[in-house]
Amino acid sequence: MFEKIWSRHVVAEGPGGHVLLYIDRHLLHEGSTSAFARLAKHGRRVRRPDLTFATADHYVLTSPGSVAIDAEIRAMVESLGQHTREQGIVYFGVGDPRRGIVHTIGPEEGLALPGITLVCGDSHTATHGAFGALAFGIGSTEVEHVMATQTLWQKKPRVMRVTVEGRLGAGVTAKDVILAIIAEISAGGGVGHAIEYAGSTMRAMSMDERMTVCNMSIEAGARAGMVAPDETTFAYLEGRPFAPRGDAWGAALASWRALPSDPGAPFDREVELAASAIAPTVTWGTSPQDALPITGRVPDPAVAGDAARRESMERALAYMGLNAGTPLTEIKVDRVFIGSCTNSRLEDLRAAARVVKGHRAVVPAWIVPGSGLVKRAAEAEGLDRVFVEAGFEWREAGCSMCVGMNGETAREGERVASTSNRNFEGRQGKGARTHLMSPAMAAAAAVTGRLTDVRTLAT
């Protein structure tokens, strides 16, 4: 599949195995404003504004009715609006009900399609690979390059297939699958690779779930992650605003059906996992690879294989304020964040609401939907009332406390149960301690005030 997409987008062969790759979709957010400014400085224009789409997600506040914490950020958001207007780019801006996290609205609007190349100046662009697209994150200079030329100089990555077979147990979700994969291959294990996720477990997943898995490919070091398109993919896409329509839909379907890898296609590396071996998972350290089943205990650095690993474990435990040997379920949390491009779609909110119903949050807990449309759909089902009645905060769409660029951060030393994708030092605010987990597990932590095995919670 990777090979088919790649070869269809090669414009020219360059030196050293580099190719000029054509880009079908370019997604922008506030972070793209510096690329716009450089483009303007060089007197260049966006070559294909019709293939370029923008939203405001990283810097916009998610408290109702406010845009930004300060003038500097407000100017940044306004500048994105101005650039997109000048260049004729569709912009899901502030006040637009479709506005949301770039990786939530891309699929929602039908911009992510099988067989296409899609880039965005954000490392979680792999999310769109759930549709069988070749989607990857790029830096700011590359954003400018795509704006100006609709192409990128790229070297072909190796391709790794990760196969997950079998049925997931009760309380085990797509988030647990990807955390288990990262723990298996390590945070650097996918460097230089695109990952294709395959197997019966992946096939049985909804699009929302496949997006959760592909989203965290970068946490395994891979720039791209993808799932072969199938009927689930097509059913999701049909009728989306920017998906092909009429005759084009028929042609697209024919092309998409021919996309999956041929049986026996070779891969540079193969990894296999059994779904039955995956439990609800949480991270204990400061790398996404520091993940364990919730039934486990904080690991002891003394058992680490080498000195470097021991040192980095000790450092992680010191930062996280944890002692080796503590059962994970005894770790108290100060705050819960359910949101981010990993886990803020409708199914995520439903899963959290199912756990929350009949309980009350005992720590501050936020629900930040991935997009305005997710928020509306959740409200139409009454999920907002479930959360609000349980004492959760129901907020506007955006990245929010996943990265805190908009000022929404946890306090120093606070321990956060979070459905986001990174538990790096300082990721959710200076000195904040992040434990990654699924929406159901985060909801369980909110109502008990500690890391909790969602399977033991009476619902």
Partner 1 sequence: MEPFTHLTAVAAPLDLPNVDTDRIIPARFLRKPRGATGYASFLFHDVRFNADGAERPEFVLNQAPYRDAKILVVAENFGCGSSREMAVWVLDAYGIRSVIAPSLGDIFHQNCFKNGLLPVILSAEVVAGLRRQLHDRPGAMLGVDLEAQTVAAPDGTRHRFDIDPFRKEMLRTGRDEIGLTREFEARVREFEERHAREMAWVTPPRR
* Residues from 383 through 412 that contact partner 1 (CB under 8 A): 403-405
Report yes or no: 220 and 191 within 8 Å, Cβ to Cβ. no
Residue with Cβ nearer partner 1 (281 or 423) = 423
Q: Please select the residue that binds partner 1; options are 32, 84, 104, 151, rule is CB under 8 A.
A: 151
**Number of chain positions touching ligand SF4 (CB under 6 A):** 13
Report yes or no: 60 and 406 within 8 Å, Cβ to Cβ. yes
Site for partner 1 in 95-114 (CB under 8 A): 111, 113
Quote the CA–CA distance of 98 and 105 in Å, as a whole number.
7
Q: Please select the residue that binds partner 1; options are 49, 67, 148, 459, rule is CB under 8 A.
A: 148
Quote the CA–CA distance of 177 and 321 in Å, as a whole number.
26
Which tokens is 383 given? 């999920």
> Measured from the CB of residue 57, what is the shortest distance to ligand SF4 in angstroms?
6
Partner whose footprint covers residue 341, from ligand SF4, partner 1, none (CB < 5 to 8 Å by kind): ligand SF4
Q: Answer yes or no whether residue 132 interacts with partner 1 by CB under 8 A.
A: no
Q: Please select the residue that binds partner 1; options are 270, 300, 311, 389, rule is CB under 8 A.
A: 311
Please state the separation of Cα 306 from the chain's center in Å: 32
Q: Answer yes or no whether residue 139 interacts with partner 1 by CB under 8 A.
A: yes
- Whose tokens are 């956060």? That residue is 416
Site for ligand SF4 in 123-152 (CB under 6 A): 124
Tell me the DSSP string of 238-297.
Answer: TT-TTS--THHHHHHHHHHHT-SPPTT---SEEEEEEGGG---EEE-SSSTT-EEETTSB
Residue with Cβ nearer ligand SF4 (122 or 290) = 122
Q: Answer yes or no whether residue 58 interacts with ligand SF4 by CB under 6 A.
A: yes
> Measured from the CB of residue 415, what is the shortest distance to partner 1 in angstroms?
18
Q: Please select the residue that binds ligand SF4; options are 84, 283, 418, 421, rule is CB under 6 A.
A: 421
Partner whose footprint covers residue 101, from ligand SF4, partner 1, none (CB < 5 to 8 Å by kind): ligand SF4
Q: Answer yes or no whether residue 93 interacts with partner 1 by CB under 8 A.
A: no
Q: Would strands 52-55 and 25-28 be described as parallel, antiparallel, or unpaired?
A: parallel
Partner whose footprint covers residue 352, from partner 1, ligand SF4, none (CB < 5 to 8 Å by kind): none
Q: Answer yes or no whether residue 65 interacts with partner 1 by CB under 8 A.
A: no
Q: Among 364, 430, 359, 358, which Cα is nearest to 395's?
A: 364
Q: Answer yes or no whether residue 123 interacts with partner 1 by CB under 8 A.
A: yes
* CA 439, 442, 448, 452 torsion-angle sign: positive
Q: Please select the residue that binds ligand SF4; options are 101, 119, 202, 292, rule is CB under 6 A.
A: 101
Q: Please select the residue that binds ligand SF4; options are 122, 142, 290, 347, rule is CB under 6 A.
A: 122
> Measured from the CB of residue 94, what is the shortest distance to partner 1 in angstroms?
17
> Measured from the CB of residue 380, what is the shortest distance to ligand SF4 in angstroms?
23
- List all residues 6 or more positions away from 311 whose beta carbon is below 8 Å from its beta carbon: 301
Q: Please select the residue that binds partner 1; options are 79, 149, 163, 329, rule is CB under 8 A.
A: 149
Report yes or no: 24 and 150 within 8 Å, Cβ to Cβ. no
> Measured from the CB of residue 361, what is the shortest distance to partner 1 in angstroms?
26
- The conformational region for residue 323 under phi > 0 = left, psi -120 to 50 = alpha, else beta, is beta
Q: Answer yes or no whether residue 175 interacts with ligand SF4 by CB under 6 A.
A: no
Q: Answer yes or no whether residue 173 interacts with ligand SF4 by CB under 6 A.
A: no
Report yes or no: 331 and 363 within 8 Å, Cβ to Cβ. no
Residue with Cβ nearer partner 1 (122 or 208) = 122
> Measured from the CB of residue 26, what is the shortest distance to partner 1 in angstroms?
12
Partner whose footprint covers residue 192, from ligand SF4, partner 1, none (CB < 5 to 8 Å by kind): partner 1
Tell me the DSSP string of 410-436.
Answer: PPTT-EEEE-SS---TTTTSTT-EEEE
Site for ligand SF4 in 396-415 (CB under 6 A): 399, 402-403
Q: Would strands 224-227 and 269-274 be described as parallel, antiparallel, or unpaired?
A: unpaired
- The conformational region for residue 115 under phi > 0 = left, psi -120 to 50 = alpha, else beta, is left
Quote the CA–CA distance of 332 and 317 in Å, as a whole number.
15
Quote the CA–CA distance of 37 and 120 in Å, as a whole number.
17
Query: Which chain residues interact with ligand SF4 by CB under 6 A?
Result: 57-58, 101, 103, 122, 124, 340-341, 399, 402-403, 420-421
